[in-house]
Amino acid sequence: MNTMLATTDTMTLTRMAVIGRRTNSALMAGAKAMMVENVKNQMRNGVAHFVYMKKSGELREAFGTTSKALVERYINGNGISPISSTSIASPRNCTE
């Protein structure tokens, strides 16, 4: 089976090469590199929800953003939401 992915982003190409060497699978390399690009695009446009596997094998659910406005509004740097001093900020409720 032949697979072709079109990208001009050098970081994605580098990521694909590294994943390909580590997994010995061009298909896996392309799929994982494109998933990373998708999450990065979601973070640029708001909040991304994703699940990843830690080295220990534990699955971790996470939310992320690169939106400075969201970060400044909901995060104060110590893991506690500025809205409530007893709760962690929940990106599910974040809107610009």
pLDDT digits (tens, 9 = 90+) for 29-50: 989 898 888 888 888 888 888 8
Higher pLDDT, 6 or 89: 6
CA-based radius of gyration for the chain = 17
Q: Write the CB contacts of 63 (distance below 8 Å, at least 6 apart in sequence).
A: 47, 48, 49, 50, 91, 92
What local confidence, expressed as pLDDT, does residue 88 receive? 44
Predicted pLDDT at 56: 95
pLDDT at 70 (0 to 100): 81
Average pLDDT of the chain, as a whole number: 78
Q: Give a three-class secondary structure readout of 58-90.
A: CEEEEEECCCHHHHHHHCCCCCCCCCCCCCCCC
Query: For position 59, what pLDDT does the model report?
Result: 95
| Per-residue pLDDT tens digits for 11-25 | 888 989 999 999 999
Q: How confident is the model at residue 84, as a pLDDT?
A: 52
Distance from C-alpha of 12 to C-alpha of 32, rounded to nearest angstrom: 10
The model carries a pTM of 0.56
- In the structure encoding, which two tokens stand for residue 93, read together? 């409720």
